[in-house]
Amino acid sequence: MIRVLVVDDSPVARELLMHILNADPGIEVIGSAVNGGEAVEFVARDRPDLITMDIHMPVMDGFEASRIIMETQPVPIVIVTASYDMRELETSFRAIETGALTVLQKPQGIGHPDHERNARSLIATVKLMSEIKVVRRWVRTAERRRPQPAPEVDPICRPFAVKVVAIGASTGGPPVIEKLLASLPKDFPSPIVIVQHMAEGFIRGFVEWLGQTSSLPVHVPFHGSMTRPGHVYVAPDGAQMKMDAGGRICCTHDAPENGLRPSVSYLFRSVAETFGRNGVGVLLTGMGRDGSAELRLMKDRGAVTIAQDEQSSAVYGMPGEAVKLEAARYVLPADRIAGVLTNIVMPGINNENRGGDSV
């Protein structure tokens, strides 16, 4: 039985969340709180297995409450918010910096067309996140912004000029992507394209949050956007994203793949077919298998491919499937991926004038 604390200042929202969660036989709501201060006190006293946390609340907001809980009595936290206000969305993602695991859309009321889908997503996320072993977060300093030391890379990777780095992630991906981008040098010479599975309406807040910690500009592209070296492009809501040979981003309404739009599979396949050995693919933590077969396609076309390892993944679904398919040249902990990317991409660009000859 998963013991859950629901934190929300709205009586209607609290009752709805409690109703949805208690309807599942594997979940028990053991209490509720109307602000972050009450949540901190409840956690110290009753130790729930998981917290659903609203952001905008009186007395103490969800960001501050998440920070205190993760620094004192760490518990898995899922941010649940209904607001698409940019400032509140940024605060939601800042809560992930403190140790919160993911951000979810607050379910619509009973009778709304999206109610059942949102309710299923909430229950599935609560069950999955409750299994994650969280650790105490110490007060962070600017030290974490410094790039990680770059480990040596197999020389076979060095001769190819990298035209694009493609990254795919799902559950647990936002904090990994944030740390990865924050660790890349400001003169990183290749464009980076990202598909992050996320509830509709949250991508712009996610991009704003990434832009606060990365020295690379981060954008939500539009159809026809021209990629630029050292810029990051995150797939927009409800659109598939691919690249053409000229470096333009195409945002389409093509059918979902693996039930998803945007889909990592769709992006990785386009990079494999368009750029071959001049692409790099990175598959991070997430549920399911989106992108795993296409990472293998990228590898078969000569691209460098990386999968996040099991120990550092919140959910080892997508990267685990890639490892099973032998799709990844490198299987790495999250904190080593930025260093490896830097070592792959920078020498690749330096060798561009040699026409890709072997070193």
Q: Point out the catalytic residue in the list 197, 225, 265, 309.
A: 197
Annotated catalytic residue 223: no
Is 170 known to be catalytic?
yes
DSSP, collapsed to helix, strand or coil, labels residue 61 as: coil
Among 170, 190, 225, 312, which one carries the catalytic annotation?
A: 170
Tokens of 171: 């559950």
**Contacts (Cβ under 8 Å, ≥6 apart) of 167:** 177, 180, 192, 193, 194, 195, 281, 282, 283, 284
197 given a catalytic annotation: yes
267 vs 164, 202, 283, CA distance in Å?
11, 20, 12
Distances in whole angstroms, Cα of residue 79 to Cα of each of 156, 209, 238, 286, 294: 43, 15, 21, 17, 31
Distance CA(251)–CA(235), nearest Å, equals 8
The set of residues, in sequence order, having a beta carbon less than 8 Å from that of 183 and lying 6+ positions away, is 145, 146, 147, 148, 335, 338, 339
Single out the residue of 251, 256, 328, 266 nearest to residue 296, CA to CA: 328
Q: Are 302 and 267 in contact (CB under 8 A)?
A: no
Q: DSSP letter for 235, please.
A: P
How many CB atoms are located within 10 Å of the residue 226 CB?
Answer: 11
Tokens of 356: 């890709």
288: left (phi over 0), alpha (psi -120 to 50) or beta: left
The two three-digit tokens of residue 78, written as one number: 């899922």
Task: Give CA–CA dist 167/250, Å, rounded.
Answer: 16
User: Locate tokens 């990183």: which residue?
Assistant: 188
Neighbours of 111 (CB within 10 A): 6
Going from the C-alpha of 174 to that of each of 92, 101, 314, 339, the distances in angstroms are 11, 9, 11, 18
180 token code pair = 């990865």
Q: Which of 231, 290, 292, 309 is catalytic?
A: 290
Residues assigned a catalytic role:
170, 197, 290
